[in-house]
Amino acid sequence: MNTKNNIFIFCFAIFIYLSLACAKNINSFIPLESRNKIKNETISQRNTRNLNYISNNDNNKKNLIIGTIINYSWSKVKLYFISLVKAQIKNCDFVMFVGGAISNETIRKIEKCGVNTYKIPKEVLKLKTTITNFRWKLYKDFLKENKNKYNMVFTADVRDSIFQKDVFQFYNSDKSFLGVFLEDGLMKNKVNRNWVTKFCGEDEFKKIENETIICLGTLIGTADKFYEFSNDLWYLIKNKKRVVDQGGANYLIYSKKLFNDSIIKNDNYGYVLNIGMSNIKNIFLDNNDNIFNYKGEIAAVVHQYDRKHSIASKMKAKFNDSYFYINNSSLIKERKSKLSRFIKTKLAIMKRMLHRK
């Protein structure tokens, strides 16, 4: 019996020693290059305002990146937020509507990335529609409440998008515009056809079936056009059952129901990629796992990266929790504190065991 106790105490002592070593050198698990690059950088420094890259814009207005998530754990959305931090987008507010079964821990991590979170109103969650539809109500209402505050607005699906650069630097807001992003596929694609024909008949659809699919997982525009689009799309879909927002958007744009003179159509030669329907041979990554557009330049945003398993695995390795924790000293301290409390508890138990003998 004494031999077993001695083995237990010896093994537990080794465990404590290794735990203390990990707590002391937690930063050693972060690649040296990443530590050197960001060791003196704080969130406030990353968000320092720099207006020089925007040509002839109102210097009093910021840009906005906005999104919506419900029922997701941190592991499902962390690539979006960690890549957002690494992209170092300046002169910008980050807003995320959250709802459903999202833990306080996930919300706290999102806010540690410099993102402002807003609870989705209960009356919105009760609407008989999906998050992909009611998000446009949230966006239009937010922009209405913050009228004249923002210059340009960008949104991307949170679960399957990553940031690599500041997307706003590639657009000039001297004139109002709405920028939509295309996929490598035609409207007559079976899935997309089903979505669009719920808003128009087959005869009308045939007029646009050879147009390129507009993906609504990403969208950019000046605040006025972004609001106008969100308002028109919500008006179209809010009372319809079992419809998808992308179907409504394609119908509005290709049927010329919107301000078509202000719409810019961007394909994968641009700086926002939708790669879900793309041939993997057309997607190039460099040695740092940066994803390039078809023109051979690093894309600002990549949507649907998880549709390509080889790319998804590289993105998960690139945008891992190590970067998040190294940039948030309070979380590192908390992990050390939890480890310290755990060790003290185990030592107290060992002492009681020894006294019983």
Cβ 218 vs Cβ 157: under 8 Å: yes
| The predicted structure's pLDDT at residue 340 | 76
Ranges 102-106, 155-159, 254-258: which has the least confidence? 254-258
In total, the chain counts a number of residues equal to 357
Fold of 42-326: Spore Coat Polysaccharide Biosynthesis Protein SpsA; Chain A (3.90.550)
Is the distance from CB of 51 to CB of 91 less than 8 angstroms? yes
Work out the average pLDDT over 328-333. 57
Weakest mean pLDDT among 78-82, 288-292, 335-339: 335-339
What is the radius of gyration, based on Cα positions, of the chain? 25
Q: What does the pLDDT read at residue 331?
A: 56
The per-residue pLDDT for range 182-210, each reduced to its tens digit, is 999 999 999 999 999 999 889 999 999 99
Domain ranges of the chain: 2-32+331-356, 42-326
Q: pLDDT averaged over the chain?
A: 83
pLDDT above 60 for 222? yes
Residue 164 has pLDDT above 60, yes or no: yes
Q: How many helices (H) and strands (E) does the chain have?
A: 14, 12
pLDDT over 50 (residue 277) = yes
Q: Give the whole-angstrom CA distance, residue 93 versus residue 114.
A: 9
Sequence-distant (≥ 6) Cβ neighbours of residue 91 within 8 angstroms:
49, 50, 51, 54, 62, 63, 168
pTM: 0.75
Amino acid of residue 231: N
Q: Are 303 and 272 in contact (CB under 8 A)?
A: yes
Helix axis angle for 329-356 and 104-112, nearest 10°, is 140
